[in-house]
Amino acid sequence: MSATGRSQIAKTGIAALAHFHSSPAAQRIHSASLFHAGDWLYGYLESELVGEIEVFAKEFLADCCTPIATSQGERWALPLLDVFHDGSPEDSDVWRSVDDIPAQRIGSLARLKPETYSRYVFYHYQRQAELPQSFNRRYIIGAHDATIFSYQELPAKTTPPPPPTLPTHNTPPNWQTVMEEHFVHWPDAPMGQHAWRVLDCIWTVPLR
């Protein structure tokens, strides 16, 4: 997952991506989604090449985005810190078949209270290790400063879970109640989105 900054796009789509399917990049990317949040785009991309997301952003989003200034110079996309993933391609010989196109792709944003950030990451590390693949193997969370982005696909995909990688039992049984304490709520949010605000999905590959 990654973020790219200061987008100048309409919510209806990105004209710069119109030629994507005829480009060499289309053969390298198995699945991708872009979500719009104010001045930012958040993306999910599956590719066999490390660093593909920044190549993709520079090639196809240059007309609607500007690079992000970092201590290492300008970047076209920033990888998000891996906070949680219920599954990963390494878990299965067949992660995504050709016909496996999700009915729904959901990208959501939440904001963490600074004093709860480390606890939130700790709990998710524990859950990932103690209860692997417990609900949707295509659910992941990444962090960009105090903002966290989640991506999931529906219907949820589950497989027989592998053994835990930690023998501990630190995952709270009242998970949702405990997690609620970590969030800064969005003002005037729709019902059910006070913690996690659902973003507009503006582009996907493959198309459905």
- Return mean pLDDT, the chain: 87
DSSP line for 173-208: SSHHHHHHTTEEPPTTPPTT-SSSEEPEEEEEES--
| Residue 207 pLDDT class (50, 70, 90 cuts) | low
Segment 30-49 shows an average pLDDT of 87
pLDDT for residue 16: 66
189: number of Cβ within 10 Å: 13
- Check residues 166 and 53 and name the one with the higher pLDDT: 166
How much is the pLDDT for 125?
A: 96
User: Which pLDDT band holds residue 1 (cuts at 50, 70, 90)?
Assistant: confident
> What is residue 56's predicted lDDT score, i.e. its pLDDT?
82
Q: Is the pLDDT of residue 86 over 80?
A: yes
Q: What is the pLDDT of residue 161?
A: 87
Return the number of other C-beta atoms located less than 10 Å from residue 136's C-beta: 16
**pLDDT for 174:** 96
Mean pLDDT of 32-59: 84
Q: Say whether pLDDT at 51 is over 90.
A: no
Beta bridge partners of 3: 42, 78
Residue 53 pLDDT: 80
Mean pLDDT across the stretch 165-193?
95
Read off the pTM: 0.90
For residue 15, the model assigns a pLDDT of 67
The model's pLDDT over 93-151, given as tens digits with 9 standing for 90+, comes to: 777 877 778 899 999 999 999 999 999 999 999 999 999 999 999 999 999 888 999 99
User: What pLDDT, in 10s, does the model give residues 19-33?
Assistant: 787 787 777 888 889
Give the domain ranges of the chain.
Answer: 2-205
- Whose tokens are 């067949």? That residue is 94
The dihedral region occupied by 181, where left means phi > 0, alpha psi between -120 and 50, and beta the remainder, is alpha
